[in-house]
């Protein structure tokens, strides 16, 4: 959702002179959108096949998404903390899924 908002309505995000912005908000939006599509594909592989590479990709993306959300903490503190908490839940779920699979195999 952040990606689509940044692509189509980049004036929604306020930027001041004392903030560091690495990307244009439209670029930031495209990065989010493409990353979201990749995560959705990986999620399908985890759900359908239980692919290890998809779990690892999901953990990495959730981790980097949580780090990226820190850039928005001053503008949207509640939403940022909520999405970071959801990223942690996703990481935990993917790790537990892997541990359950190893226990079942043993």
Residues 72-103: tens digit of each pLDDT:
787 778 988 999 999 999 999 888 865 566 65
Contact 90, 62 (CB under 8 A): yes
82 lies in some domain: yes
17 lies in some domain: no
84 lies in some domain: yes
Model pLDDT, residue 48: 85
Residues 6+ apart with CB under 8 A from 46: 54, 55, 58, 94, 97
Please give the residue range of the domain that contains residue 55.
Answer: 2-12+22-105
Q: What are the pLDDT digits (tens) for 29-60?
A: 787 788 788 878 888 888 888 788 888 888 99
Residue with tokens 């493409």: 34
Model pLDDT, residue 104: 59
97 lies in some domain: yes
Looking at the 3D structure of the chain, how many domains does it have? 1
Residue with tokens 């990495």: 60
Burial of 2 (0-12, 13-18, 19+ CB in 10 A): buried
């Amino acid at each position: 959702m952040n990606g689509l908002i940044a692509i189509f309505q980049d004036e929604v995000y306020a930027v001041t002179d004392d903030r560091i912005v690495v990307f244009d908000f439209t670029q930031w939006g495209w990065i989010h959108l493409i990353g979201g599509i990749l995560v959705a594909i990986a999620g399908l592989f985890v759900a359908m096949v239980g692919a290890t590479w998809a779990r690892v990709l999901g953990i990495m993306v959730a981790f980097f998404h949580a780090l990226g959300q820190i850039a928005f903490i001053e503008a949207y503190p509640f939403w940022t903390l909520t999405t970071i908490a959801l990223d942690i839940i996703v990481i935990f779920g993917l790790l537990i899924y892997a541990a359950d699979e190893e226990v079942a195999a043993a």
